[in-house]
Structure 1
Amino acid sequence: MTTTDIINRLRMLSTDGSKAERRLAEVILDDVEYASRAPIADLALRARVSEPTVTRLCRSLDCDGVRDFKFKLAQVLAIGGLYLFPEPLVRDERDARIVDAVSEGAARAMDRMRDIVDMNTVNTVADQLIKARQICVYGSGGVSSLGAVELQNRLFRLGLSVVSHTDGQMQRMSAAVCDKDSLVVAISASGEAKSIMESVRVARQYGARTIAITNPDSSLAREAEVTLPFVIPADTQLYKPTSGRYALLFVIDLIAMATAESIGPRVLEGLRRIRTSLSGLNMSDPGRPIGD
């Protein structure tokens, strides 16, 4: 189902509509909260239009009437109100403020994960990764897709057979060829990504083991056999990318290091080969991260 963006439609009417529509749209956009609560007579009076004009505008926005329109405005405020009425930017000391916001957000995200992570579960995940004949990692959306690709990047160099999928159809197809020697790692910040949950069900149907890195109270957590908690805290700094990426990378690095140490010295030969293969690309500095 496609959601109608009422705010965008109102903005279009405020410039392209009739004279009455422009006035009414401007009044609504100037104070969305007021418009979501005001009686139709008060709204019409403030915009200097008739009550039937208010009703017609509501219907032109695919609303059943004024009541439905006000309900949808209230939804807009609840879901995206922060983006409609952001606090003005303060340009003083802008560079230092940006550096502080990003670094402090990253530190808080990782501290939060450190407080809730269970290393017994991390070690269980590492053991299952080592035993699996094939590993499928699924992620959907910005943060989770980044995490899926990064987990593949961390595990293949340990000699594990791993592939990541961020496309829903590919997730489902790869899940369909899983078996009892397969392991699926599903990553989702919300834990409600439909493609990932369906793929986990498909993989389990064919005997695959399943691990979720997700919100522990989510549907995905209930679908998977093992869950590593991954929670993105609310962030009201609208111009800053979410710090949840750092929390996810923290979890992935825990998994990668625990897996490498569980495998033991055998992983070193693969890392040596990678280092050697990259030396021809002027990347022989032993202090440089491998392949990064």
Structure 2
Amino acid sequence: SDLEWAGNASIHDMAAKAGVSEASVTRFSRSVGCKNVPDLKKALVSSFAIGQRFLEGHMDPITEESGAIGQVVKGIIEALNTVNTQTSQQKIEQTASLVNELERVVVFGSGGGSTVIADDAVNRMFRFGVNITSYGDFLMQRMVAATLNEDSLVLVISTTGQIAEINESAQIAKQYGAKVVAITRGDSPLAQLADIHLEVHIQEDEGIYKATASRYALLAVIDAIALELAVLRKDSSKETLRRIKYNLDAVRGGDRRFPVGD
């Protein structure tokens, strides 16, 4: 395509193809917000790489054999198998120990998926007596981070680890003595600043219409931390879970297999 060609062409070739002077190409670069022609070429390459996926609109055909549910479940299983080999059991245990020992736990997650998973971390762990809250708003994260200390833990959830605002909040918390655990990909700025990094790096497929399967990988890591925490607080957890089940059954019935608050 012309975009792909322009991203790799010299300024001389670009000017010749457009029928203008090289100076005109430079002026055009600045007029669209680029510093110079190389900066424009980088922007063109990036636009082509991102835009092509949506121009093509790739989608695996939904067949009678698999159906939509088959496609979705296949992606989830692949994501879970990946995170099962990526994430360190030792670091899961270390994280659970910090949650168990420290007085306050806050969870940061922004955007559609990470916000929901941050809320789910609260749902998983409050029942074990943890003082835990979640925050999705960038300004709230920043303010809360400024209130933390050596008895605090920040659990940061991010599929990319590239969001500057959430990374800055994590750095602020660390500055005031809080421990930072990041559930994210290892090649990210967030992973580099964390005290403990839990690797979750799911390569999404080219389909633009399916929900991201990486959400389930993040949930699996949260569930693993919660399970280790429950074991550490086995005696007290048993009693709080019993209380929750008893009070839920009072309003929904008493099937012993109903979930405990899910």
Q: Do the two structures share a fold, i.e. TM-score over 0.5?
A: yes
* Structure showing greater relative contact order (alpha-carbon pairs closer than 8 Å, 6 or more residues apart): 2
CA distance in 2: counterparts of 1:182 and 1:134, whole angstroms: 5
- Provide the C-alpha distance between the structure 2 equivalents of 1:195 and 1:88, rounded to a whole number of angstroms: 33
Separation in 2, partners of 1:258, 1:70: 50
| Coordinate RMSD, CA, aligned | 3.0
Specify which of 259, 281, 286 is matched with residue 251 of structure 2. 281
Deviations, residues 98-145 of structure 1 (Å, cap 9, x unaligned): 222111111111111111221111111111000111100001122221
2:227: which partner in 1? 257
Q: CA deviation at 1:210?
A: 1.4
Deviation at 1:43, TM superposition (A): 7.8
2:197 corresponding residue in structure 1: 227
Match of 1:270 in 2: 240
Query: Any idea what the Cα deviations from partners look like across 1:181-222, whole Å, max 9, x if unmatched?
Result: 111111111112212211112112221111111112211111
Aligned position for 1:122: 92
TM-score by length of 2: 0.83
Aligned to 1:204: 174
**Match of 1:265, SS?**
helix
1: CA distance, partners of 2:32 / 2:166: 32
Letter in 2 for 1:232: I
Consecutive unaligned residues in structure 2, runs of 5 or more: none
What is aligned with 1:164?
Answer: 134
Name the CA distance, whole Å, in 2 between partners of 1:189 and 1:175: 20
| Residue 35 (structure 1) shift | 8.2
Identity %: 34
Structure 1 equivalent of residue 56 of structure 2: 85
The aligned runs of 1:35-184 (5 Å cut-off) are 62=32, 72-87=43-58, 90=61, 93=63, 96-184=66-154
Task: Call closer, same or farther: CA 1:88–1:284 in 2, change over 3 Å.
Answer: closer
8 A contact 1:130–1:259 mirrored in 2: yes
Q: What is the letter of the counterpart of residue 51 of structure 2?
A: G
CA distance in 1, matches of 2:42, 2:216: 37
Q: Is the 8 A contact 2:58 2:208 kept in 1?
A: no
1:207-261 CA distance string (max 9 Å, x none): 1111111112211111111111111213112211111011111111111101101
Residue-by-residue CA offset, 1:167-186 (whole Å, 9 max, x unaligned):
11111111111111111111
**1:99/1:274 CA distance change after superposition, 3 Å:** same
Q: Tell me if structure 2 keeps the 8 A contact 1:35–1:43.
A: no
Query: Normalised by the size of structure 1, how large is the TM-score?
Result: 0.75
- Judge conservation of contact 2:180–2:196 (CA < 8 Å) in 1: yes
**Which amino acid is the alignment partner of residue 86 of structure 1?**
G
Q: How many angstroms does 1:266 deviate by?
A: 1.2
Q: Are residues 63 and 178 of structure 1, via their aligned partners in 2, closer, same or farther at CA, if it must alter by over 3 Å? A: closer
Q: Computing the radius of gyration over CA atoms, which structure comes out larger, 1 or 2?
A: 1
Deviation for aligned residue 1:95: 7.7
- For the structure 1 residues 282 and 234, does the alpha-carbon distance in structure 2 shift closer, same or farther, using more than 3 Å as the test? closer
Distance 1:223-1:89 versus aligned 2 partners, 3 A rule: closer
Unmatched runs of 5 consecutive residues or more in structure 1: 1-29, 45-50
